[in-house]
Chains A and B, each alone.
Chain A
Amino acid sequence: MSVRETSAMRAGLALCGHCRMLSRIVTATEANYCPRCGREIAYRRRDAIQRTWALIVAAAICLLPANLLPVMKSTTLVGASEDTIIGGVILLYLSGSWHLALIVLVASVMIPLGKLMSLAYLLVTVRRGSTRSNQERIRLYRLVEFIGRWSMLDVFVIAFVVALVRIKPLMAAQPRAGILFFAAVVILTIFAAQTFDPRLIWDSPGDATRRNE
């Protein structure tokens, strides 16, 4: 290819993260605004690395109560029991629907954990200025971005079980505090994926100084 390979940042241009308009960064000291949609533009999302770390750490903290505290209490004539997320997966498995148990296990346990580890890996490699396996890293990021919403699954499951199973005194189901922490993990990891800037993956070590201005 005869076209020279250069990033928009090296050409003094920035893509608006909101409306995808390419415009020139005029002043390096003040904030720049997209002429088309009026939102702030910058070469890279502002403080992407620090903010993503903060969100990941917050999500990791919420992950503990989300998995240790019960998410639902079910009452029948025989007695009451409180289930954690893993408990719910085991119940589904024991009731014979192993495929649904697998879906819930993937959505509620593996996706949140996988997202946290993937984003941490991306942040560490970006900090190191790594330029290796860029293709794999951008694919990992896209996967994290795409798959994140599916961990909301268990929140919906609890919501609809609770909404239906309310034939007192025969049977009743109530949400428990665990679901709040679980929902927090889901939201925080979605925000973390949105805050990270995939363009950082492709930046060479020299670009870091350019970003900070």
Chain B
Amino acid sequence: MSLNRLACPDCDLLQNVPRLPPRARARCRRCGRLLAIDRPRANERALALAIGAAIVFVLANVFPLMGLSVAGREVDTTIMGGAWIMWQEGQRMTAALVAVCAVIAPAAYIGLTIVVLLVSRWRRPAPAWVGELLLWSATAREWAMAEVMMLGILVALVKIADLATVIVGVGMFATGALILLITMIAVHFDPEGIWARTQWVGPAETTPVRDPRRGGS
């Protein structure tokens, strides 16, 4: 049984994690943080989910989220419309933030995840730039806030409902599906599995710590 030497990202405790049986998870002995998890065929599922998410993402952004109808006049908006009107109204910084969190970051997360998963499937070892893209996708994930946006839309709807009739659009249902898929990608995606088959950027002499009996204090 091979032991994998790890340090907990939350408390820095050095510990050896055994190879996990299927579907088992390992937690830090000191602070309880999840250290490793075994998901059979994790990245194959993640790829399927990411491709599904890409399709749903297009639908969510092309179709109107919702419309408003009052006195025979109608207005509707897409996700990007929320940022665009704000830009036109002069709040450009806020508009840019909305665009990043609602559209750009989710698109980058889904796109980068698909590229990383596809390239690491086809080329072994995957070139080092795959690792770079993997880091970017993690950053994009932090700023992708589709679920917060959805709650924001619901609050906005309630605020408007007194003034006018609100029509829920296709974009809204697609956004709901998108939130579900993005969450599921994050659950299944296994970055360590990608790193294991990706070339390192560094020179070979800076050897990593693999053997648990060497490099003690």
Contact = CB atoms under 8 A, between A and B. Distances in A.
B145 interface: yes
Nearest to A23: B208
Contacts of A9: 12
Q: Chain B contact residues: over half helix, strand or loop, or mixed? A: mixed
Contacts of A92: 155, 158-159
Interface residues of B, number: 78
Q: Interface centre among B66, B73, B156, B192, by most A CB within 10 Å?
A: B156
With a 10 A CB-CB cut-off, give which of B12, B152, B156, B208 has the most chain A CB atoms: B12
A12 B7 CA distance: 12
A134 B31 contact: yes
Nearest to B78: A163
A7 B155 contact: no
Contacts of B145: 149, 152, 156
Interface stretch (A33-41, A48-56, A118-126): A33-41
A7 B98 contact: no
Contacts of A154: 152
A202 B94 contact: no
Contacts of A31: none
Interface stretch (B19-27, B55-63, B81-89, B109-117): B81-89
Contacts of B30: 5, 202
Interface of B: 5-7, 9-16, 29-33, 65-68, 70-71, 73, 75-77, 81-86, 89-91, 93-95, 97-98, 101-102, 128, 131-132, 134-135, 138, 142, 145, 148-149, 151-156, 158-160, 162-164, 191-192, 195, 200-203, 206-209, 215-217
Interface of A: 1, 3, 5-15, 17-24, 26, 33-39, 76, 88, 91-92, 95, 97, 100, 103-104, 134-135, 138, 141-142, 149-150, 152-167, 170-171, 174-175, 177, 179-180, 183, 187, 190, 194, 198-199, 201-203
